[in-house]
A and B are shown apart, each in its own frame.
Chain A
Amino acid sequence: MPIQYYIILAAALFCIGVVGVLIRRNAIIIFMCIELMLNSVNLLLVAFSKMQYTPANGNKSLALNIGSDAQIFVFFIMVVAAAEVSVGLAIIVMMYRNVHSTDVNFLNRLKN
């Protein structure tokens, strides 16, 4: 499968994420859109890493663990993202407890 498919898919996911962040007001949905963007990047990372290298001399033993770096990297990103989600959700919960709303536009006290 050519790399373009992966790129287009990742770009589409990223744009959906961006638009979601921009137009939605619900903090939880915005949060989900952020995760979407993050994961579109992860997808791209894995795709590039897998497709980037073809051994020129045909040495198959080398090819076995080629492209696995990024996958490991992506696992780490997911772990960090999970931690981040827990913090973010905690913030949203606290926000809901205080203002009984998850509307981000309601919290505009920091202006001026």
Chain B
Amino acid sequence: MVYLVPLFPLLGFLLNGIFRKSLSKSLVGIIGCGSILASFIVSVILFSEVMSGGALAVQPLFQFINVHDFKIDFAFQADQLSSLFLLIITGVGFLIHVYSTSYMHDEAEEHFARYFSYLNLFVFSMLLLVLGANYVIMFIGWEGVGLCSYLLIGYWFKNDGYNYAAKKAFVMNRIGDLGFLLGIFWLLSKLGTANYSDVFANVSHLSPTDITGITVLLFIGAMGKSAQIPLYTWLPDAMAGPTPVSALIHAATMVTAGIYMVARSNALYSLSAVAENLVAVVGIATALFSATIAIKQNDIKKVLAYSTVSQLGYMFLGLGVGAYTGSVFHVMTHAFFKALLFLGAGSVIHAIHNQQDIRYMGGLKKYLPVTHLTFLIGCIAIAGIPPFSGFFSKDEILAAAYAANPIYWVLGVIGAGMTAFYMFRLYATTFLGEFRGTEEQKHHLHESPAAITIPLIILAVLAFAGGFVNVPEVLGGHEELHHFLSPVLTTEPAHELDHNTELTLMGVSVIVAFLSGAFALIKYSKKPELDEPKGLGKVLANKWYIDELYDAMIVNPVIALGSFFKNVIEKSGIDGFVNGIGTFIQYSSRRLRLVQNGKVGTYILFMVFSMIVLWLIFWNQTTITNFFQKIF
């Protein structure tokens, strides 16, 4: 039954893609949403089976690669980890699909169908990634989401800037994918199999160098897909796509792939201290770095994009310090509130006619009551204020970080403070104060239709309540998620903190988040930041000039090299050679033509000379043969 889960989105993709010119919009919407809903229902059934302890076996469909004694099955594996991801992907994905039917309604019919077919393909690839029972199948899905992100970011392909963003996303992902692929090859060359169960059972056959190499290479893949330093710059640019696509990329699919992969390979990562430290350091660095950038962004989607990068950093921090459950938990809660925030932002953009700059918003509270309330819930959840979901998941990661190294915890709390700050800055500038747009926009302001608000409400409920599935023991909970995932995340170290320490840590992080959030709320609700920033603020608003740095260090040299090859090597080298042959033949034949002068004597002369030459050649046959044999 597992194969049904990715089958439905694939069918939806094929139907919408093939008949995109003949289907009506409502039919496209029904196919698009229905396929995801169907796979969501199957996922729920699978999940409940897994909960009750069944349906754990690997289910091979057919043999994918079969060369001599090297075999790779096309097999699916629905265990605790993947079934949880299935729920997130199909559940949140379904809400985003429903939302899209309204959000994209102004598109032409065939583009509308194209959009939905891409969306379904995206979900299909992600499901393949999550369900695959070996790294090779995971890689197929891995590439699939990369392709779909390219297609969807460049959905409005008539805009050059959007195409550039799409290409950037694709190229950055490819860089990471290369690392991932090399990691798989390394694994295959050492163990001869890529099946999770076989690999994790045989890790003892790998030398420490192999494990470190493989895990670091796999992590490079995760860096690209999950937007970590240094390969994160594609994610903020991915905002070029339609807003629901951003929600899909950031919440349900794509960026969580790296987290899933590392969590899935926990048996490998836990054996390599180098890789674990690398993951943790990259994670916390990304979390802080992108949080600083988010503080000064004025594009509503850019703020959310950098906050995603930052939250992914937290997840990697959790993975690095061994808090696999915490990271997966954070993936789940993050999927809820980030999808909520993006869809809320989409609702705002929709209402205000494609204005994304928060400096021209303000005071939307009274015009968009539902969006406002749900967005606020999302902000509180991501800021980590109890009892909203973000608090529980972030706190679990931070507690584990403290147990590993208190410095991680300090940095993490600073990052959490910044998160609260920029989220409430965004909230205050957008929804509070006075409206700063044009009169015409003000006139048209209206709450979005039900297809937009209902997903928002559902997600808001989830963002509020999602944290209760894993309430820590110190707060009187039972850590259900932890127990549920423990068969898969076998190598997770036990919690070592005593309850008092844990409570103190929680208190500090909540107070920091609360204070900085309240500070931002007070500061920006009265006097929003409208001027161009100066000094450090300008550096932050320009994203630390990282894009410029990459341009100067990598992009421009490569382009220069390319144009050197194009203008010099190609034009004067290869073209010169080819054209030279042509010119030479034309020139020499023009000269040779004069030989045919119609005089019999000349012809006979040539004949005589040729015969003499032939005679000479014939006479010295052996000498000539020997000569050529000596050369070649």
Contacts and interface: CB of A to CB of B under 8 A. Distances in A.
How would you classify the secondary structure of chain B's contact residues: helix, strand, loop or mixed?
A: helix
Given A18-B608, A22-B605, A22-B608, A104 B598 contact: no
A108 B601 contact: no
Contact of A108 (B599, B604, B608): B599
A57 B605 CA distance: 49
A25 B604 CA distance: 12
Contacts of B605: 22
A25 B356 CA distance: 96
B604 A22 contact: yes
Contact of B599 (A21, A23, A105): A105
Interface in B586-615: 596-601, 604-605, 608
A107 B600 CA distance: 9
Interface in A56-71: none
Contacts of B596: 111-112
B601 A104 contact: yes
A21 B602 CA distance: 10
Interface string A74-112: 000000000000000000000000000000110111111
Contacts of B600: 104-105, 107
A110 B601 CA distance: 14
A21 B605 CA distance: 9
Interface in A1-53: 18, 21-23, 25
A111 B601 contact: no
A105 B601 contact: yes
Interface string B277-311: 00000000000000000000000000000000000
Contacts of A105: 599-601
Size bin of chain A's contact surface: 10 to 19
A107 B601 CA distance: 11
A1 B260 CA distance: 107
Contacts of A111: 596-598
A4 to B, nearest CB: 19
Contacts of A23: 601
B597 A25 contact: no
A108 B599 CA distance: 6
A23 B604 CA distance: 10
Contact of A110 (B598, B604, B608): B598
Contacts of B601: 21-23, 25, 104-105
Contacts of B604: 21-22
A95 to B, nearest CB: 12
A108 B197 CA distance: 90
Contacts of A108: 597-599
A105 B597 CA distance: 10
A112 B596 CA distance: 7
A109 B598 contact: yes
B599 to A, nearest CB: 5
Interface in B511-529: none
A18 B611 CA distance: 12
Contacts of A112: 596, 598
Nearest to A111: B598
Contacts of A110: 598
Contacts of B599: 104-105, 108
Nearest to A112: B596
Interface of B: 596-601, 604-605, 608
21 contacts: A18-B608, A21-B601, A21-B604, A22-B601, A22-B605, A22-B608, A25-B601, A104-B599, A104-B600, A104-B601, A105-B599, A105-B600, A105-B601, A108-B598, A108-B599, A109-B598, A110-B598, A111-B596, A111-B597, A111-B598, A112-B598
The 3 closest A-B pairs by CB, nearest first: A108-B598, A111-B598, A104-B600
Given A105-B599, A105-B601, A108-B597, 7 more contacts: A18-B608, A104-B599, A105-B600, A107-B600, A111-B596, A112-B596, A112-B598
